[in-house]
Amino acid sequence: MAKNRVTLKDVAQRAGVSYQTVSKLINRQIRLAEETEQRIWQAIQDLGYTPHYNARSLRAQRSFTIGYSWPPSPPDETNPILDQFLQSMFVAAEARGYYLLMFPYHYEVEKQIAAYADLIDAGRVDGFILSSVEYDDPRIRYLQERNFPFVAFGRSNPEWVFPCIDVDGGQGLYEVTQHLIALGHHRIAVLAWPRESRVGNNRLEGYFKAMAEAAIPIDENLILRGEGKLDFGYRATQQLLSLSLTQRPTAIVALNDYMAIGAMQAAQEQGMRIGEDLAISGFDDIPLARYLTPPLTSIRQPIWEIGQHVIQRLIDIIENGQIPEPQCLLVPPTLIVRASTDPKVKASPFSRTATQKEVISR
Amino acid sequence: MAKNRVTLKDVAQRAGVSYQTVSKLINRQIRLAEETEQRIWQAIQDLGYTPHYNARSLRAQRSFTIGYSWPPSPPDETNPILDQFLQSMFVAAEARGYYLLMFPYHYEVEKQIAAYADLIDAGRVDGFILSSVEYDDPRIRYLQERNFPFVAFGRSNPEWVFPCIDVDGGQGLYEVTQHLIALGHHRIAVLAWPRESRVGNNRLEGYFKAMAEAAIPIDENLILRGEGKLDFGYRATQQLLSLSLTQRPTAIVALNDYMAIGAMQAAQEQGMRIGEDLAISGFDDIPLARYLTPPLTSIRQPIWEIGQHVIQRLIDIIENGQIPEPQCLLVPPTLIVRASTDPKVKASPFSRTATQKEVISR
DNA sequence: AACGTTCGCGCGAACGTTCGCATTAAAACC
DNA sequence: GGTTTTAATGCGAACGTTCGCGCGAACGTT
């Protein structure tokens, strides 16, 4: 297994210099005679030297490791962005010589904080990425208090100042609502999350803004709140469709795709033609969205870019200590119009042309 | 940030012993006088001591870290088991004092192997978990050659001997095929993967076995191979349904849920009632499966158990060097019968009773 | 010719552990 | 009562780096 490892001393001996000199060359902290430098590189090559991570970290008091933990998705739902987010992050990390360390997410606050504290105290990580950030997030409080580097994917309390990046969900909802209004809809229902949901509230604001700009009064009966699951979307839509003709919505905006799918099923069971009799939109643009019948209008988050950004930012903070402005960056999502809201964008989802006909707004 | 860290020496001084003694107590390599032991624990508690990871690893030549890398899922598909698999693994790892390190997956063989080599040479990991294992997998070859610990989720060449665990996909297909035969189906089509697919071949064997046992001849025209995407399922099913009545299948077994969903859409477009006119089954039991109309019969893999097992096994190998028999463990998946194959198991997917009516075979 | 300055490199120390052996005192043996 | 065993702890070294300082030689400057 771990046989006789090649160390700096081996390289140094072969190159005929002291081992510290080799170290300095590797870390580019020194100018060497051209000839010596070549000799050393050659020796490194010949012996196949790789610096020992733990020794380096011990001495430098740096771990070149970023910690990440996230809440597991419930069994009846998959996290549509996890894979891409992770891949994006560790590609970005690798490019700067870092790796990502995963550790379990605990729901009990104390155990959760303890997990972060242990990693810090053990010197295993140089910083953290946070996601699924909520109001009063104890992790943010703790890390700020210890003055330990982190970057969050998601906003928290508006008055808190910390490095974060977030998708402007409000902008997404603003656009989709505008899109529906432009198509002539007035009674637009929302399948929303509970009031405590920070993400939900951010998104809802965009809906209110678009409605206000179009001078359409808000009907509180059309805003239904639930746990964001498919069957809530289904039941809520049944309820909406049981309203009288003058009250019933002509469009439903769901805050995620699962609820939208539930809504589609409920509407189809009642024989309604989605996109014609009733418009439905989702959020997240899960891969399946374009394959549904009809294809689902949705809002896509720039996950890859967020992963890149969040890591770049964290490493900048770790290495330079400086937190660049703006503290919190908002990136706009992309509205993807499909036949579930606009029947003109229809056709079989499998023909090449149909796929291209998806209207990517912006 | 990293302020004055509490070290063994601090603890030792406060407890009035040498720092090596404290180390030995922590590692339970020594018997101490009851009173001294208490004093030391108290000091550890008082000062909030946490061992420094890099120092420990440097000295012990062990990293307590497990490396994992996996191919990113294509943009039009989500990996339905990734989240659960990861969570399971790092929960198991944490319980034994290990963490998981993620690193990018490269498709070019050389870069891929280089990534593994670098982590080994740098001493950053004690072992690896492999997944998405294929025939002639170069990673297996390399790690075996270096005699470096690893455990694979998935089989490779039948003649290779290495620690692995895999879902018995053949058993899954055997059961679903038997299930369909018992319902009176004879012409059972398969939406399969390309011939080079190891997973696909393993699964197919179960189909052949069940057909052979029922003495039903294989019709090669009913075995269609594609890339495992939704639209292949769609097109393949269109093709199958265009066959003459005597040749057309009465049941379609898909090797994953996405192809099954495509098949359902194609069949429904032709006005067929799924579960009655045509039976369709999938594989993976993605969360959405039970919410489809009709709910999709599928095969669920025991992912959590696999994650636990794979980690336990790897740590055993790392710590004891011994590779327990059997080298490769096969675990059976679970057939979940829903209305897409058996209309008796129907009803709205959202009523409590309906959910319970899902028949979990075995 | 004497004197700074830069260049090229070496040296000792330290990072915080673990490990094996040495040491001391008390207890047990004959 | 001297010798051997056992229990409880100490001591020095090592793991493979990085870091700051130092030192001789070469180089230009006055």
What is the C-alpha separation between B250 and B227, in angstroms, rounded?
Answer: 23
What is the C-alpha separation between A141 and A156, in angstroms, rounded?
Answer: 11
pLDDT at A362 over 80: no
Amino acid B42 CA to nucleotide D3 C1' distance, rounded Å: 39
Question: Where along chain B do its domains lie?
Answer: 8-56, 65-166+303-331, 169-301+334-354
Strand B150-153 versus strand A150-153 pairing type: unpaired
Task: Say whether B262 and A291 touch across the interface (CB within 8 A).
Answer: yes
pLDDT at A356 over 60: no
Task: Say whether B291 and A104 touch across the interface (CB within 8 A).
Answer: no
Nearest-CA distance A147 → chain B (Å)? 6
Which of residues 1 to 30 on A have a Cβ less than 7 angstroms from any strand D atom? 5, 7-9, 19-20, 23-24, 26-27, 29
The per-residue pLDDT for A2 is 41
What is the C-alpha separation between A131 and A66, in angstroms, rounded?
Answer: 13
Helical H segments across chain A, by residue range: 8-15, 19-26, 34-47, 53-60, 82-95, 109-121, 138-146, 169-182, 198-213, 230-241, 257-269, 303-320, 352-357
Which residues are paired to B164 by β-bridges?
B152, B328
What is the C-alpha separation between B228 and B233, in angstroms, rounded?
Answer: 7
**Long-range contact set of residues A194-198: C-beta below 8 Å, sequence gap at least 24:** A194/A225, A194/A226, A194/A227, A195/A225, A196/A134, A196/A135, A197/A134, A198/A133, A198/A134, A198/A135, A198/A154, A198/A155, A198/A156
Of B5, B83, B288, nearest to A73 by CB-CB distance is B83
Query: Is B362 (CB) below 7 Å from strand C?
Result: no
The per-residue pLDDT for A357 is 57
Mean pLDDT of A321-344: 90
What is the C-alpha separation between A307 and A92, in angstroms, rounded?
Answer: 8
Strand B334-337 versus strand B359-360 pairing type: antiparallel
Contact present, A259 and B288 (Cβ < 8 Å):
no
Task: Say whether A53 and B291 touch across the interface (CB within 8 A).
Answer: no
Query: Is B19 (CB) below 7 Å from strand C?
Result: yes
What is the C-alpha separation between A66 and A317, in angstroms, rounded?
Answer: 12
Half-sphere exposure of B2 (CA within 13 A, CB side): 18
| Inter-axis angle of helices A34-47 and A8-15, nearest 10 | 130
Which of residues 55 to 114 on B have a Cβ less than 7 angstroms from any strand D atom? 55, 58-59, 61
Contact present, A156 and A136 (Cβ < 8 Å):
yes
Could you report how far apart the first and last alpha carbons of chain A are, in Å?
Answer: 55
CATH of domain B65-166+303-331: 3.40.50.2300
The per-residue pLDDT for A276 is 94
The per-residue pLDDT for A280 is 98
CA B242 to chain centre: 36
Task: Say whether A104 and B94 touch across the interface (CB within 8 A).
Answer: yes
Give the confidence band of A201 by pLDDT, cuts at 50, 70, 90.
very high
Contact present, B129 and B89 (Cβ < 8 Å):
yes
Amino acid A7 CA to nucleotide D17 C1' distance, rounded Å: 9
Tokens 């336990």 belong to which residue?
B312
pLDDT at A190 over 90: yes
| CATH topology identical between B65-166+303-331 and B169-301+334-354 | yes
The per-residue pLDDT for B357 is 56
Strand B223-225 versus strand B251-254 pairing type: unpaired
Give the confidence band of A353 by pLDDT, cuts at 50, 70, 90.
very low
Q: Which residues of A touch B77 (CB under 8 A)?
A: 287
Amino acid B33 CA to nucleotide D1 C1' distance, rounded Å: 29
Of B54, B90, B147, nearest to A58 by CB-CB distance is B54
- Answer positive or negative: Cα dihedral of B30, B31, B33, B35: positive
CA A187 to chain centre: 31
Cβ contacts of residue A273 below 8 Å, gap of 6+? none
- Candidates B350, B351, B355, B358: best to mutate against A (most CBs of A within 10 A) is B350
Residue type, A262: G
Give the confidence band of A352 by pLDDT, cuts at 50, 70, 90.
very low
- Candidates A11, A68, A79, A83: best to mutate against B (most CBs of B within 10 A) is A83
Q: Which residues of A touch B102 (CB under 8 A)?
A: 86, 90, 99-102
Nearest-CA distance B313 → chain A (Å)? 17
The per-residue pLDDT for A30 is 80
DSSP state of A274: B
Of A78, A79, A293, nearest to B286 by CB-CB distance is A78
Helix, coil or strand: residue A102? strand
CA separation, residue B53 to residues A124, A266, B60 (Å)? 6, 55, 10
Helix (H), strand (E), coil (C) string for chain B = CCCCCCCHHHHHHHHCCCHHHHHHHHCCCCCCCHHHHHHHHHHHHHHCCCCCHHHHHHHHCCCCEEEECCCCCCCCCCCCCHHHHHHHHHHHHHHCCCEEEECCCCCCHHHHHHHHHHHHHCCCCCEEEECCCCCCCHHHHHHHHHCCCEEEECCCCCCCCCCEEEECHHHHHHHHHHHHHHCCCCCEEEEECCCCCHHHHHHHHHHHHHHHHCCCCCCHHHEEECCCCHHHHHHHHHHHHCCCCCCCCCEEEECCHHHHHHHHHHHHHCCCCECCCEEEECCCCCHHHHHCCCCCEEEECCHHHHHHHHHHHHHHHHHHCCCCCCCEEEECCEEEECCCCCHHHCCCCCCHHHHHHCEECC
- Candidates B70, B81, B101, B102: best to mutate against A (most CBs of A within 10 A) is B102
Residues in chain A: 362
What is the C-alpha separation between A152 and A165, in angstroms, rounded?
Answer: 6
Mean pLDDT of A111-132: 96
pLDDT at A326 over 60: yes
CB atoms closer than 10 angstroms to residue B292: 23
pLDDT at A260 over 80: yes
The per-residue pLDDT for A3 is 55
Nearest-CA distance B103 → chain A (Å)? 6
Task: Say whether B122 and A87 touch across the interface (CB within 8 A).
Answer: no
What is the C-alpha separation between B323 and B316, in angstroms, rounded?
Answer: 8
What is the C-alpha separation between B331 and A229, in angstroms, rounded?
Answer: 31
Q: Which residues of B touch A286 (CB under 8 A)?
A: 78
Q: What is the pLDDT of residues A70-115, one digit of tens each?
A: 999 998 888 999 999 999 999 999 999 999 999 999 999 999 999 9
Q: What is the pLDDT along chain B (362 residues), one digit of tens a residue?
A: 445 789 999 998 888 888 999 999 998 777 788 888 888 999 999 999 999 999 999 999 999 999 999 999 988 888 999 999 999 999 999 999 999 999 999 999 999 999 999 999 999 999 999 999 989 999 999 999 999 999 999 999 999 999 999 999 999 999 999 999 999 999 999 999 999 999 999 999 999 999 999 999 999 999 999 998 999 999 999 999 999 999 999 999 999 999 999 999 999 999 999 999 999 999 999 999 999 999 999 999 999 999 999 999 999 999 988 777 788 999 999 999 999 999 888 654 454 344 445 777 65
Give the confidence band of A351 by pLDDT, cuts at 50, 70, 90.
very low
pLDDT at A350 over 70: no
CATH of domain B169-301+334-354: 3.40.50.2300
What is the C-alpha separation between A235 and A258, in angstroms, rounded?
Answer: 13
Tokens of residue A168, six digits:
């402007």
- Mark A269-288 as b/e (b = at least 16 C-beta within 10 Å): eeebebbeebbbbbbbbbbb
- Domain A8-56 belongs to what topology? 434 Repressor (Amino-terminal Domain) (1.10.260)
Task: Say whether A103 and B121 touch across the interface (CB within 8 A).
Answer: no
The per-residue pLDDT for A1 is 42
